[in-house]
Amino acid sequence: MIRNATIEDVKKIHSLLNYYAEKGLLLGRSYSSLYDQLRDFKIFVDEDGALLGVCALHITWEDLAEIRSLAVLENMQGRNVGSQLVRACLEEAYAFGLDKVFTLTYQAGFFRKQGFSDIDKNKLPHKIWGDCLNCPKFPDCDEEALQYIVADVVQS
């Protein structure tokens, strides 16, 4: 089941995201950042309420949002958890009336399977680079940029 994250989920989200951050696979999030942006997060839980995955849709501009902090427990990967989380975020972007959603990722193949296409990072607005200042790889980002045209949500 996918639901909006709550205050009670923050410590679990923090743990999952920072597990992958330590492996260099995504940008870790502080507790402060998670509380500040909690409304961005959706979580996937099992029937017992255990957190299996997390994903955020962060609005960056009037027509643009970012899918960020997508993480799924290792033993749940390949079971459609990530795909369902991304789909829920894309549906929310559509409901908000956004035109495009982008992501910066090391898992470009996964996002291509979700209907995202490659874009040049330099075409993204400068406003999105604020989080990059906290990344240990800044300014030498090696993530790939992809985007999704939100109108495609209604067609699929």
Report the candidate in 77, 88, 103 with the shortest Cα–Cα distance to residue 20: 77
Query: Which position has the token pair 């409901």?
Result: 95
The CATH number of 2-155, from 3.40.50.300, 3.30.565.10, 1.10.10.10, 3.40.630.30, is 3.40.630.30
Would the pLDDT of 125 be above 90? no
The residue that leads in pLDDT, 152 or 123, is 123
pLDDT at 55: 98
- pLDDT for 27 equals 84
How confident is the model at residue 155, as a pLDDT? 55
Spatial contact of 71 and 16, defined as CB atoms under 8 Å apart: yes
DSSP line for 103-153: EEES-HHHHHHTT-EE--GGGS-GGGGGGGGGSTTTTS--PEEEEEETTHH
Asked if pLDDT for residue 129 goes beyond 80, the answer is no
Question: Could you read off the pLDDT of 55-105 as tens digits, one per residue?
Answer: 999 998 889 999 999 999 999 999 999 999 999 999 999 999 999 999 999
Residue 136 is predicted with a pLDDT of 55
More confident residue, 107 or 125: 107
CA dihedral 2, 89, 153, 111 (to 10 degrees): -100
